[in-house]
Chain A
Amino acid sequence: MTTRESTPPTFSARLPGTRAAHSRMSATRRREALQGFLYISPWIIGFIIFVAGPLLASLYYSFTYYPLLTKPTWVGLQNYNTAFFKDRIFWLSSWRTLLWAITTVPLGIIGSFFAALLLNRAVRLKTVWRVFFFLPSLTPEVAAAILWLWILQPDVGVVNNTLKAWFGFRGPNWLASPSWALPSLIIISLWTGIGSIRMLIFLAGLQGVPQELYDAGMVDGVNWWQRIRHITLPLISPTLLLNLVLGIIGALQVFGLAFVTTGGGPAYATYFYGLHLYETAFRSFDMGYGSALAWFLFTIILVLTLIQISLSRRWVYYAGDAKD
């Protein structure tokens, strides 16, 4: 096919039938391309209607005053100005969310990694332990929230009751306490997050580490930590990167858990960015300001992702074949 295309035109013009054959080839190619577009057309249409269109619309709304019932009116940078310089809750919720991300993401990833290491070792009833670790991650977010509200209930909850019965010790108010609410939510997120699909992916990654490498390490007399640090970690670093990127994107959008358990309280202790955005856009119906908040978050996520990808060149190791 390539040889035919590279044939000089003067020569091909002289041969009867070559032109026809050539156009038949490109017709096949054209048909293939057309069919390809047809197959992906659901996504193209959906992308335009449900992603790209709304994306641009919210960018436009972010420069307008738009109280839903009237048409948007252009106000320039006023919404951004309000967010950065006037809205105290904006900064408060931003820092709360950042704190949430820098605690839950590393703890979750490290937790999943060590759980995978633990469950990868030959131990009796291994499958049973794996299921025990994995079950919490299947609990729907709202169900997990309701469940933990009950477990951490200050007066009759099982945690505080057990503390009292066994140690005669009054536990904290957990989700009802301004200083304990955020740590409580972190505990809940680790409960659903550690044994999740992430742990399964780490397990798969660990099983993909060639045994020869560990054997070679044994010969060199490396200890447990050196083995993890210099053999396991480099080999699963692509998985780590993916989890880090997706984990941060997810953590910055945290909503349901806090909305159901604390509603953002007490005293704004768990008032995350998503809650502020929801209240702005869907309780006060200030669509313009809500869109500005959304675009600020989007920009932060883009920047953080690009930083992580460019930093990753220093620590992510791709074995010879990227597919493996």
Chain B
Amino acid sequence: MQASTSNRLRTNSWYRTRKEIGNTLFLLFTALLSISFLFPFVWAISSSLKTGFEVMAYPPTLLPKVPQWYNYVQAWQEADLGRFFWNSAIVTGLSLIGQVLSSFVVAYGFARFRFPGRELLFILCLSGLMMPVYVTIIPLFTMFRALGWINTFKPLIVPTYFGSAFAIFLLRQFIQSIPLEFDESALIDGASRWTILTRIITPNCQPALATVAIVGFMTSWNAFLGPLIFIDSAKNYTLPLGLWFLKGTIDDGLPRDHLLMAGAMITTFPVLLIFVLAQNYFIEGIVMSGIKG
């Protein structure tokens, strides 16, 4: 009896040590892998803070000797990224407002009203997700050209005021998860449909609205093909377009990669900032909307 107990204890402690070693190895593996994922990012930040010659030093050094914060000023002013940044900010800001508001109203219509052809229209709306951009972009170009909108921000902003398929889908799913009794009791109290939207649906939809806003922000801020086609003079370039332009124009033999890296980081930081600000909402929105299935 006693022997078997001590035996069990021994195996138990052996089991625990083995598990401990396993866990440590696993931690090491996870850490190594995730650090190697982060590395290019760290390298870009480090390069953006080096001098033009230090950036090409051999053997490479991980950190700049003296951080050159002035690189960012130079990229912002001399490379004109400041202008591109504000262009992007205007386009993204106005698109974001349009996309969130219009998609929300449309999603409410799909979620809370009965009308003939609703399911068919919704499927039609979802089919927009499947459509390659190329299949509409040529007629859109000729149309915007006829309207005199080429080289303005309008082609990038106006279409967002008519809802986006992804946002409508996500918001509809979310609105449907709000109990219908909320609406009904408000209706009995004499509230209008619009009041229900603003007073009942909106406060209950915040995670979904945040998700849609983040995705909308990223789509608009990162957009490349649309601005490339619709905008032709450099003064109206958005940030990604400006960055591409900068890459093409500084091939003059001088080491300027540090400026490009600063530019890439200027383009990336706002996305990080938005994400950090709204990440809790965002993940909740993704999970609860049921896109997983």
Interface residues of B in 102-131 (CB under 8 A from A): 102, 105-106, 108-110, 112-116, 118, 121, 124-125, 128-131
Residues of chain B at interface, number, CB under 8 A: 89
Inter-chain contacts of A197 with B (CB < 8 A): 286
Q: Are B30 and A204 in contact (CB under 8 A)?
A: no
**A51-B131, A297-B132, A298-B131 are known contacts. Are A36 and B115 too (CB-CB below 8 A)?**
yes
- Measured CB to CB, the nearest residue on chain B to A208 is B292
Of B109, B224, B229, the residue contacting A256 (CB under 8 A) is B224
A 91-135 binary contact with B (CB < 8 Å = 1; else 0): 000000000000000000000000000110101110011101101
**A43-B125, A191-B40, A260-B244 are known contacts. Are A132 and B132 too (CB-CB below 8 A)?**
no
Q: Are B40 and A148 in contact (CB under 8 A)?
A: yes
Q: Are A38 and B109 in contact (CB under 8 A)?
A: yes
Inter-chain contacts of B225 with A (CB < 8 A): 255-256, 274, 278
Q: Are B102 and A42 in contact (CB under 8 A)?
A: yes
- A201 beta carbon closer than 8 Å to chain B: yes
- Measured CB to CB, the nearest residue on chain B to A297 is B132
Cβ distance B191 to chain A, nearest Cβ, rounded Å: 14
CA distance in complex: A268, B242 (Å): 25
**A39-B109, A129-B34 are known contacts. Are A58 and B139 too (CB-CB below 8 A)?**
yes
**A46-B162, A197-B286 are known contacts. Are A33 and B116 too (CB-CB below 8 A)?**
yes
Inter-chain contacts of B55 with A (CB < 8 A): 156
- B287 beta carbon closer than 8 Å to chain A: yes
Q: Are A40 and B106 in contact (CB under 8 A)?
A: yes
- B27 beta carbon closer than 8 Å to chain A: yes
Interface residues of B in 234-276 (CB under 8 A from A): 239-241, 243-244, 247, 257, 260-261, 263-265, 267-268, 271-272, 275
- A29 beta carbon closer than 8 Å to chain B: yes
Cβ distance B126 to chain A, nearest Cβ, rounded Å: 11
Q: Are B141 and A249 in contact (CB under 8 A)?
A: no
16 A-B pairs with C-beta separation under 8 A: A33-B114, A34-B115, A36-B114, A45-B162, A61-B139, A133-B37, A142-B267, A146-B261, A147-B40, A151-B40, A191-B37, A194-B37, A201-B291, A238-B292, A242-B293, A278-B229
- Chain B residues with CB under 8 Å of chain A are 23, 26-27, 29-31, 33-35, 37-38, 40-41, 43-44, 47, 55-56, 58-60, 102, 105-106, 108-110, 112-116, 118, 121, 124-125, 128-143, 159, 161-163, 168, 193, 218, 221-222, 224-225, 228-229, 239-241, 243-244, 247, 257, 260-261, 263-265, 267-268, 271-272, 275, 283, 286-287, 290-293
